[in-house]
Amino acid sequence: MARIQHVKKAQQRYAMRPVLDDQGQQVQTPVMNPRTGEQKVTKSGRPVFQKQTVRDYDKPLPMPRCDFAGCEHPDRRIAVGQAYKIAPVKSGSKYRHEEHPAWQPWELSSAMWARVAQAVDAGETSLEALDDFEEVDDVVSVLQEVADEIRGLAEEREEAAGNIEDGFGHETEMSANLREHADNLNSFADDLESWSADEDAPDPGDFDCDEDGEELEDPSALDDDQRFNSEGMDLDTAWTDWREAVLDSARSALQETPEV
């Protein structure tokens, strides 16, 4: 994953111009080998030079733009003097104001591990949205969606392995690794699909007492927060505890990510 750099104060950027000598030619300096003290040469034996440039203060460049979707700065630009962070990626660099959240792994990498992390994060977000669920099937549906996404990634690995083997006419070390990754992904999906809650939901029929554990004559006439079991736990608390236990179990299942 790209290493994020933090800059306390943004500096104005400028275009570069060549440094010219008296004859109007760009100045070049020898590139030296620090170990030998001699000038570096190319494979063909040609000496290596570095062309000299300086900032052209008459040509300021636009300041980088913040890529955070919720950025409210003018034009999303990072102004001179503002703090920001920068993440180098293959396509260039990403910029973001310091006060905005850091990038998620999949925003900086298209590697398989990052895509798995994205699927898992989507599942965790869906679990957080289950406020007052009463059926475990609601949680099962979330894990099934993640499992479907993971199986799609496994198919990509299998297809890539098949293309390599078709090209070489036999299995290679790379294709074998890809198939192993696919197996790991499918096993992860299997585990998500076979997940089940660790405990049963509260039975409202068990909450027919008052807060002192005395049995009520007609508990159905009371609100849920007025109904207790024989141990003094009210029904609302029992539901809350059960939901938290179920969600914790589901989150644990999502965290068992495979090696890819």
Two structure tokens written together for 219: 């508990």
* Residue matched to tokens 């508990």: 219
Let me know: does 192 contact 150? Beta carbons within 8 Å: yes
| pLDDT single digits (tens) 130-183 | 988 989 999 999 999 999 999 999 999 999 999 999 999 999 999 999 999 999
Q: Which residue has the tokens 């585990």?
A: 191
Residue 50, token pair as written in the block: 């570095």
Residue 184 CA to residue 172 CA, distance in Å, equals 18
Give, in degrees to the nearest 5, the angle at Cα 25 between 20 and 27.
Answer: 55
How many C-beta atoms surround the C-beta of residue 85 within 10 A?
A: 19
Q: What is the pTM of this model?
A: 0.77
Q: For 167, list phi and psi in degrees, rounded to 5.
A: -70, -40
Averages of pLDDT over each 10 residues, the chain, 260 residues: 89 96 94 93 94 97 96 96 95 94 93 96 96 93 98 97 95 96 97 93 86 77 77 89 95 94
Q: Determine the distance from the C-alpha atom of residue 27 to the mean position of all C-alpha atoms in its chain, rounded to a whole number.
A: 46
In contact, 69 and 107? CB cutoff 8 Å: no
Nearest Cα residue to 146 out of 184, 178, 191? 191
